[in-house]
Amino acid sequence: MLLRDPIHGDIHFEDKERKVLDTKEMQKLRGIKQLAASYLVYPGAVHTRFDHSVGTNAVFKRLIREMKRRKNVTQYIGKKDDLLAVSIAALVHDITHVPFGHTFEDEMRIFDKHDKKSRYDEILRRGEIGTQLEKNNLVDEVINLLATKSPIKDLDDPWQSQIISDTICADILDYARRDAFFCGMPSKNYDDRIFSYFDIQEKDGKPIICLDITKGQMDRKDALSELIHLMRLRFFLTERVYLHHSKVCAGAMLAKALSMAKKYGVTKESLNPLSDEGLFDFLLQQPKGDVPDKGISKLINRIKERKLLKRAYILSPREVSHPAKIDEFIAAYHMPNRESERKKREQELSEELKIAFEDVVIYCCGKEMLKEAQVYVTRPDNEIIQLQNIPDQHELKSIMESYEDLWKFYVFVPAEKTREAYELCERMFDCKSGYLPKGYVKTGPLDMWYPKPLNES
């Protein structure tokens, strides 16, 4: 089978791969957007988990072709059939995603993470895809490749897991280009030569993925700078796309609607068969067989019509100068099972502002990390070391510090309530915000409020 992809061109699939792609579990991913609500900011960002899945498989195959050029690697790669499980794992690595999964799992922490072994067991051992994997005796191997958290420690051939789900791997090399392309940014955003850096070396008696940044017995500065460039690109996408305030707001509003629906018996399992649009329709019908919940319907329709709530109060590391204070916010509003604390504060704000409960949304970001810096690299004298441990990498340190600055705490309310909410939040959370709502002007000893002109969007 041949698929033509806008990022990688023609992608060829063997018959066993095609049968996996044609299962209903894989086809469902066509209805789940890769970047969740980012399409409200970047209209082209409507690519899907399915697109990314075939792209990850294409990058995996390209990396295998490149590594076969290295004489020392052929002993690990072996025959084509030996890599079928890895190829299938690249295809199905996102199959446990529900609509807006990262929003519900990583950002708002309403549900457990999608990449747990129990989730892979639940999906890959059942249904059409389970049947296809069983026919080729691949179920256990594919699940181990995807669900093992410490492949270097726990797998005999850790490189097979690393190549599709490590710090720098087929996964990031696809989405870094795909996300940029569909958000209207330059898609040729890293040098193809990075594919040729991939190597397999022995560490503690096991073959692992290393990126070769040497030539002879010298460091290759161009190779090192290309890796750092990829990390800057990842930071750029995180700052501009993944954490864009409108995307964050829409996701937080949707998460609040889902949280409100949980009292009607909605669970994560309820979301398994749904697409993005299916999720909206599903929530609009809650509770089933009764009059729909007006608060849930209001939130969903606001998102569908792009009538989002507005930023009233923002904290960043600049305002919360002590790291311990940031940790307190994260512990109270971001960690798992903190829905009740968010709801309590949202209820207090809604009562003080005299607005509906669904018109106040609190969002607290977790601490972003530059995990790509943990990739193993090969240095002169066959030294294997994590990239972040190479001495005097000031540029890399700068990127890592930039990630710390991405932390945000938001309170979103209707536009006409932003001024009141701003002042109330500064008292409630005992922290001055550096962000002023539109029309709110600092004039010295007094703060003045100027209504927004009618012609201002």
pLDDT for the residue numbered 437: 80
pLDDT for the residue numbered 55: 98
pLDDT for the residue numbered 446: 45
pLDDT for the residue numbered 337: 78
The band of 63, judged by pLDDT with boundaries at 50, 70 and 90, is very high
Residue type, 279: L
Judged by average pLDDT, the poorest of 6-15, 112-121, 399-408, 446-455 is 446-455
pLDDT for the residue numbered 219: 83
pLDDT for the residue numbered 445: 46
The band of 441, judged by pLDDT with boundaries at 50, 70 and 90, is low
Instruction: Report percent pLDDT > 90 for the chain.
Output: 75
pLDDT for the residue numbered 339: 84
pLDDT digits (tens, 9 = 90+) for 253-267: 999 999 999 999 999
- Taking all residues of the chain, what is their mean pLDDT, rounded to a whole number? 91
Domain chopping of the chain, boundaries: 2-192
pLDDT for the residue numbered 455: 45
**SS3 readout for the chain:** CEEEECCCEEEECCHHHHHHHCCHHHHHHHHCECCHHHHHCCCCCCCEHHHHHHHHHHHHHHHHHHHCCCHHHHHHHCCHHHHHHHHHHHHHCCCCCCCCHHHHHHHCCCCCCCCCHHHHHHHHCCHHHHHHHHHCCCHHHHHHHHHCCCHHHHCCCCHHHHHHHCCCCHHHHHHHHHHHHHCCCCCCCCCHHHHHHEEEEEECCEEEEEEECEECCEECHHHHHHHHHHHHHHHHHHHHHHCCHHHHHHHHHHHHHHHHHHHHCCCHHHHCCCCHHHHHHHHHCCCCCCCCCHHHHHHHHHHHCCCCCEEEEEECCCCCCCHHHHHHHHHHHCCCCCHHHHHHHHHHHHHHHCCCHHHCEEEECCCCCCHHHHCEEEEHHHEEEEHHHCCCCHHHHHHHHHHHCCCCEEEEECHHHHHHHHHHHHHHCCCCCCCCCCCEEECCCCEEECCCCCCCC
How far, CA to CA in Å, does 65 sit from each of 41, 61, 69, 198, 375? Answer: 37, 6, 7, 10, 21
Q: What is the CATH number of domain 2-192?
A: 1.10.3210.10
Cβ–Cβ < 8 Å for 41, 250: no
Does pLDDT of 456 surpass 90? no
pLDDT for the residue numbered 79: 62
